[in-house]
């Protein structure tokens, strides 16, 4: 979709933009099904994406583009993920209403907001303290009250609330962080981009009842790198 900023926003236009975004996600799901094995995403997930006001999670200068199916800059060298990728990662997680989920890489809080409509509790960690603070304020202001955000090292997880039914990592790691594998509940699912140094692959990791893990590559992706505090 070509960019053509409007001079203002109104409810009717925003409704059209949201519907167009959902339509583009659905089309891309069909186009990528040969990689993902999923030609459509769960209806609950699509409803959450339609409900969460993405324009509230982007800088003012990007709001005309908020419902485009593309990533957008949010400052501090970070981005809000493409809506299709948010939908895919959420669908791979297979969230259920009773689940407790850990997110690594809060960013602006958009992925956490989507998850909050699907699970009982979301814990989210962001390495950039300023982003963590603004996401915490934004989520509270918008009423996403089952999300807790803190600043810290995402690769270390959040052991106080483990084990997690699901873990979603929104930055590319060089390898599976051992702490996150440890904090994943048996039977739980982790969705994480891994960086080989040449390219990135989105991986689905499932932990079995004996603590072993099985992983598969879903499709190539491009994420900002997973970083540690002070780096």
Confidence band, pLDDT 50/70/90 cuts, at residue 229: confident
Cross-strand pairs, 149 = 124
Question: Residue 2's pLDDT is what?
Answer: 36
- What is the distance between the alpha carbons of residues 147 and 119, in angstroms, rounded to a whole number? 10
* 3-class secondary-structure state, position 27: helix
> Where does 11-221 sit in CATH, by number?
3.40.50.150
Confidence band, pLDDT 50/70/90 cuts, at residue 231: low
Query: How confident is the model over 132-173, as pLDDT tens digits?
Result: 999 999 999 999 999 999 999 999 999 999 999 999 999 999
Question: Residue 11's pLDDT is what?
Answer: 81
Question: Residue 131's pLDDT is what?
Answer: 96
Q: Cα separations (Å) of 189 from 96, 110, 123, 139, 149?
A: 12, 20, 15, 25, 21
217 pLDDT higher than 70: yes
7 pLDDT higher than 60: no
60 pLDDT higher than 60: yes
Question: Residue 164's pLDDT is what?
Answer: 98
Question: Residue 13's pLDDT is what?
Answer: 85
**Segments making up each domain of the chain, as ranges:** 11-221
Indicate if 81 belongs to the active site.
yes
Q: Is the dihedral of CA 202, 107, 132, 42 positive or negative?
A: negative
Query: How confident is the model over 14-23, as pLDDT tens digits?
Result: 899 999 999 9
Question: Residue 124's pLDDT is what?
Answer: 98
Q: Edge to edge, what strands does the sheet with 100-104 contain?
A: 147-151, 121-126, 100-104, 164-169, 184-195, 200-207, 213-221
Which of the residues 4, 6, 39, 81 is marked catalytic? Answer: 81
Per-residue H/E/C for 126-155: ECCHHHHHHHHHHHHHCCCCCEEEEECCHH
Query: How confident is the model over 61-112, as pLDDT tens digits?
Result: 999 999 999 999 999 989 999 999 999 999 999 999 999 999 999 999 999 9
- What is the distance between the alpha carbons of residues 122 and 145, in angstroms, rounded to a whole number? 10
Question: Residue 8's pLDDT is what?
Answer: 52
Q: What is the DSSP letter of 226?
A: P
Query: How confident is the model over 29-56, as pLDDT tens digits?
Result: 999 999 999 999 999 999 999 999 999 9
4 pLDDT higher than 70: no
Question: Residue 6's pLDDT is what?
Answer: 39
């Amino acid at each position: 979709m070509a960019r053509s900023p409007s001079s203002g926003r109104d409810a009717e236009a925003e409704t059209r933009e949201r519907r167009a975004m959902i339509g583009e996600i659905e089309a891309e799901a069909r186009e990528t099904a040969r990689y993902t094995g999923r030609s459509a995403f769960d209806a609950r997930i699509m409803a959450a994406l339609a409900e969460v006001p993405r324009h509230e999670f982007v800088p003012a200068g990007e709001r005309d583009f908020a419902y485009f199916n593309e990533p957008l800059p949010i400052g501090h060298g970070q981005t809000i993920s493409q809506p299709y990728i948010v939908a895919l990662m959420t669908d791979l997680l297979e969230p259920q209403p009773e689940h407790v989920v850990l997110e690594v890489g809060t960013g602006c809080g958009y992925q956490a907001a989507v998850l909050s409509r699907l699970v009982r509790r979301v814990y989210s960690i962001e390495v950039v303290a300023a982003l963590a603070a603004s996401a915490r304020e934004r989520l509270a202001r918008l009423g996403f009250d089952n999300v807790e955000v803190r600043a810290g090292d995402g690769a270390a997880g959040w052991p106080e609330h483990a084990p997690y039914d699901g873990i979603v990592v929104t930055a590319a790691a060089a390898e599976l962080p051992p702490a996150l594998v440890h904090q994943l509940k048996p039977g739980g699912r982790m969705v994480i981009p891994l960086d080989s140094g040449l390219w990135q692959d989105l991986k689905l990791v499932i932990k079995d009842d004996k603590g072993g893990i099985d992983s598969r590559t879903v499709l190539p992706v491009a994420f900002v790198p997973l970083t540690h505090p002070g780096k």
